Structure 1
């Protein structure tokens, strides 16, 4: 499965190149080693040898090459001399070329400007020591990592972007990330991480970390001891059951918090989301809770303390009721996404513009609306509210029978009546 992912990534990169050659790309004036293509593309002197059947690094690569793409071949070994003259090389793509731990000689990638390397889709069981010490970006997807060791990154202190997706990592040793003081973005999704995989203070030295994705692991709790620099946290697809009280107080810069395809449930209400008692998410934040995580009522207490939240995504749940004051704590709410739920009716108090003065955008399509007189106000709001109710052509009535299946752009408020 993972090899297919690497193949797909390589194929898409190649396709993107081919589709854009007529837009800003042109042939390099230098002789190009066959069967490669030498282009000036997106501001870089580039050599594309991906998926050409080569079994070694081609000879005669121009010395001014800045990007070298070798992915999708069967290159058994890279020696020190293979790239020695590429003093301008900045980006090197080596995904899915069959690399093993001893396939690259130490020093072979020791190039003065090399800062971006893609090692995805190879047969590597540890972070190799032969990578460029000047590296800023490393893609290491779809290898065979099971553990991150305390010495995994000791040579790579300049790293800012690290992607370890689609491995089988289940353990992180203490101090693993300590050398990465410049790290800003860390992806570790689709691994085997549990709560015990993360030792205490594992991110203590990462004072520049902003984005952390641990989606589709086996976490049951949110991570602790994250640096205050964090702006984006992605917990999608874990097994988290509760967001702890004041669990985000130490993250004053948090802007995006994502949960879906998992389950966040409460111990004191019947909804499947709990923020407990909190006042720690008061900055401008986007909260995404999607895909069958909320299965009942959004109560007047559900969002207590989230006064700084600007955007909330509640799509693709099973919400059946939104209590009249449920959104009132969200004093900064700008956009509400509540498509594809089970809401049949809504009180006019629920979207009161005086209580929600910042509200500008609402998505409510995909619900089984009962279009009677109690919902007339909402159809009127499509035309006259301060906020915009998006896509009325997608909002349809499930009942009463005369209106079933009709879209709101085809109906007038006067169509919404109750039987006497």
Structure 2
């Protein structure tokens, strides 16, 4: 019986050993062995390993379950981009590096599913990029967990197949500051898309999502939102809900279908500092007081609005009782402008001016711009004249002497007016001073005529009172030398 028992135990031991060996072989088979010969290893700060378009025997990388030849290797940034990874699961995402990774980049793969809690082991993960994959919301359940949300700072889900966003889908990401959802062409948003759990979100990008309008309460749970990008969506006007974002500083509405900028388009956004509205194909005019509500505005960019031909001279409130913003940069490159009003902005205070690529009419109306040397340094393309024909393609700084020579520019007229006014005021003050002096001396009984000096009796120093107390305001004295010098 003893030999039988020993034999049985040995048999069990052999079976278990074979089982573990087979399991280990399977794990090795599932796990790719990566070296710095396969990927690019950079130990500088931050330490980064980049496995881009990795091939093993002519096959692209299909898994994130990677094992590194250097067992002591630690990396803060892991880039597994441009491969054929189709699924991510817990314990199978670079398991050797989970303790130190701060950035994971899986852009441009074929990921269509992510297992539950897949990123929970990444205790320091701050940036997660899943751009350009095949993700859908239904295949991402319990992925954005509270464990991940404690430290995740930026999330990129752009250019996937995301459609209707489940209510409160992002609520566990309580520390998230940047969310990018660009390029999800059928994205549908509701008032509950961004819940109260996202109160720290500062930047939101919804470019090219085919959004025609925004729900009235969509930003109610984002009190710190200060940067919003809505490029490439088919808006025909600026959504009213944007006016409700109290701390918004940067707004990008480029490439939309907005047709006009009126005095109530952005009437409540007093915090906006940078307004970007490039490539608005249907915009033709910027109306009176269009930006009067933007007191903090510093940079405005309407470049490549090819049908924009008119900007009202009071667009910023310069000619009305409104206080215009202190602009630092103005960009109207490649529009259809023939003229710019001098009163539109305080041009001398600007750091950058971009008006190249416009069909400018170099006539008397533009004389102010041609004459001001401080405006000759333009940003970007050098502005030239399109009209009259004799000045076509002439740079503005070379056209001044040839434009409207018989007339003074408005700026010079203003300067002359100021000089005349100041001279007139000075003259009046001088006359008033002389008249006041005459009246003063008359009251004191000293003079009856400021231009007449009566003869006074001869006095010497001993005529002065010895007692200083006797010197009064009415006591006058003079020293005259009537006696010829030779008699002395």
CA contact (8 A) 2:86 2:109 kept: yes
Aligned to 2:341: 347
| Ranges in structure 1 where 5+ consecutive residues have no aligned partner | 1-31, 56-71, 266-271
60, 65, 75: which one pairs with 1:74? 60
CA contact (8 A) 2:357 2:381 kept: no
- Name whichever structure is richer in helix by fraction: 2
How is 1:314-393 mapped onto 2 (pairs within 5 angstroms)? Answer: 314-317=302-305, 318-328=307-317, 330-351=324-345, 353=346, 359-381=350-372, 383-384=373-374, 390-391=378-379
Note if 1:313 corresponds to 2:315. no
CA contact (8 A) 1:339 1:367 kept: yes
- Aligned mates of 1:304, 1:239 — CA distance in 2: 25
| Local SS of the residue matching 1:117 | strand
CA contact (8 A) 1:37 1:47 kept: yes
- Aligned mates of 1:153, 1:393 — CA distance in 2: 46
Deviations 1:104-129 (A, max 9, x none): 75576372112221122222223444
Deviations 1:21-77 (A, max 9, x none): xxxxxxxxxxx947346755433555555445236xxxxxxxxxxxxxxxx962344
| Ranges in structure 2 where 5+ consecutive residues have no aligned partner | 1-33, 408-488
Cα deviation for residue 250 of structure 1 reads 3.4
How is 1:186-265 mapped onto 2 (pairs within 5 angstroms)? Answer: 186-194=179-187, 196-200=188-192, 202-222=194-214, 223-225=218-220, 227-245=222-240, 247-252=242-247, 254-265=248-259
- Aligned mates of 1:202, 1:45 — CA distance in 2: 34
Deviations 1:90-113 (A, max 9, x none): 222222332233677557637211
| 4+ aligned runs moved over 6 Å, structure 1 | 80-84
Cα deviation for residue 199 of structure 1 reads 4.6
Cα deviation for residue 198 of structure 1 reads 3.7
Aligned to 1:143: 133
Aligned to 1:98: 84
Q: Which has the higher contact order (CA 8 A, sep 6+)?
A: 1
Bigger shift: residues 305-314 or 243-252: 243-252
- Distance 1:373-1:357 versus aligned 2 partners, 3 A rule: closer
Cα deviation for residue 171 of structure 1 reads 1.7
TM-score, reference length from structure 1? 0.74
How is 1:246-285 mapped onto 2 (pairs within 5 angstroms)? Answer: 247-252=242-247, 254-265=248-259, 272-274=260-262, 276=264, 279-285=267-273
CA contact (8 A) 1:275 1:303 kept: yes
- Distance 1:52-1:96 versus aligned 2 partners, 3 A rule: closer
TM-score, reference length from structure 2? 0.65
Aligned to 1:300: 288
Cα deviation for residue 277 of structure 1 reads 6.1
Aligned to 2:99: 112
- Distance 1:107-1:336 versus aligned 2 partners, 3 A rule: closer
Bigger shift: residues 163-172 or 329-338: 329-338
- Aligned mates of 2:328, 2:92 — CA distance in 1: 53
Cα deviation for residue 89 of structure 1 reads 3.2
CA contact (8 A) 2:130 2:158 kept: yes
| Local SS of the residue matching 2:110 | coil
- Distance 1:119-1:395 versus aligned 2 partners, 3 A rule: same
CA contact (8 A) 2:52 2:83 kept: no
Deviations 1:204-260 (A, max 9, x none): 2112211111111111124532512112111010012222446333332x2210011
